[in-house]
Structure 1
Amino acid sequence: MAQLFFHYGAMNSGKSIEILKVAHNYEEQNKQVILMTSGIDNRTKVGEISSRIGLRRDALPIFDDSNVLEMVKKNNDDAACVLIDEAQFLKKHHILELAKVVDDLDIPVMTYGLKNDFMNELFEGSKYLLLYADKLAEMKTICWFCKRKAEMNLRVSNGKPVYEGEQVQIGGNEAYYPVCRRHYFNPLMEATKE
């Protein structure tokens, strides 16, 4: 029986490399996967899943007005699994469409993304995945400043922490650090200077 999975973690927890690994494992067994990612993530290019260690794969971009159920139906040639990166940027209707992929088409869907933003608010996609997913799995990483588990994402600008602003700002290590709660509120910014 197919299920909807949400794998979440702070920045640098290996979400993108994990999705590429899962795709490889399916394809090595000659099973088709449908790779998708948010259309607003343009760090490398729109419609590409890119890991920090350099592995990349083309993926179908999901935009705000995309119908994910119809996209899966159109690209389904006996797909064994749907894999979605940057799921935090999805909208509520996308999550409900993914539930239909699972329930009506009997295709497992594995989503990967951040749970919370830099202000520790849930992203829309994450909120509805937490509500509708059959299985939740935390992907862990360590704090940028200590050995504790990172649970939050600290936005930085010009060497200073940022706690307000637009929810979405695409970026990597130049803009975000994975941090524990203690260092979210008291970042050791001096330790990051060269």
Structure 2
Amino acid sequence: MAQLYYRYSTMNAGKSIELIKVAYNYEERGKHVLTLVPAVDDRFGTGVITSRIGLQREAMLVQDDTNILELFMRENEKNKIDCVLIDECQFLKKHHVQELVEIVDSLEVPVLAYGLKNDFRNELFEGSYYMLIYADKIEEIKTICWCGRKATMVARVVDGKFVKQGEQVVIGGNDMYVTLCRKHYNDGRLGPDK
């Protein structure tokens, strides 16, 4: 029976590399994978999933108004799709998550969605919220804070300073975000000397 998986973590935990690995495993066995990424994530170009260690994979873009179920049906007519993989699922809208549910429940195709859970203000993204509601399996991918504790928070850094206010979505990488444990997120320490 197909299921909707939500695999979440903070930044730098290896979500994209995990997705690329899963896609490779399916394709190595002659299966077809539909790989998706929200268009808002253009750090490494559009229509590409890139891990921080440099591996890349092409992906179809999901715009705010994209109907993922219709996209799936079009692609499934070309080649039978055995699995749907989506990176940066925190940027999905409610209707996107509901369309993924329909793919799982009505078409019996597994969906694995990777993304952040909470933003730099420690609030849920829209996509994360609905993934937590609808996912059959919720799995945490762990990484660590500079102190060695499990990192559960993402801090935004602007001009070298920790900020907790601003627009929810500002695309950036290690130059702008730091993963922290709850203790160091709450006390604002970005490192042992910061």
Quick check: TM above 0.5?
yes
Give the conservation status (yes or no) of the 8 Å contact 2:184–2:190: no
The yes-or-no answer on 1:10 pairing with 2:10 is: yes
TM-score relative to the length of structure 2: 0.96
The CA distance in 2 between the partners of 1:190 and 1:21, in whole Å, is 31
Pick from 101, 106, 109: which aligns with 1:107?
A: 109
User: Structure 1 CA distance, aligned partners of 2:35 and 2:190?
Assistant: 37
8 Å contact kept, 1:159–1:189: no
Change in 2 beyond 3 A, CA 1:80/1:175: same
CA RMSD of aligned residues (A): 1.1
Residue 158 (structure 1) shift: 1.1
* Equivalent position amino acid for 2:66 in 1: S
1:43 aligns with 2:43: yes
CA distance in 2: counterparts of 1:133 and 1:53, whole angstroms:
28
Separation in structure 2 between the aligned mates of residue 48 and residue 155 of structure 1, nearest angstrom? 24
Partners of 2:193 and 2:112 in 1: CA distance = 35
Paired with 1:104 and 1:46, the residues of 2 have a C-alpha distance of 30
For residues 1-194 of structure 1, the aligned pairs below 5 Å read 1-76=1-76, 77-143=79-145, 145-189=146-190, 191=192
Percent identity at matched positions? Answer: 56
Are residues 141 and 189 of structure 1, via their aligned partners in 2, closer, same or farther at CA, if it must alter by over 3 Å? closer
Aligned length: 192
Long gaps (5+) in structure 2: none
Deviations 1:97-121 (A, max 9, x none): 0000011111100000000000010
Per the TM alignment, residue 78 of structure 1 is displaced from its structure 2 partner at its CA by 1.2
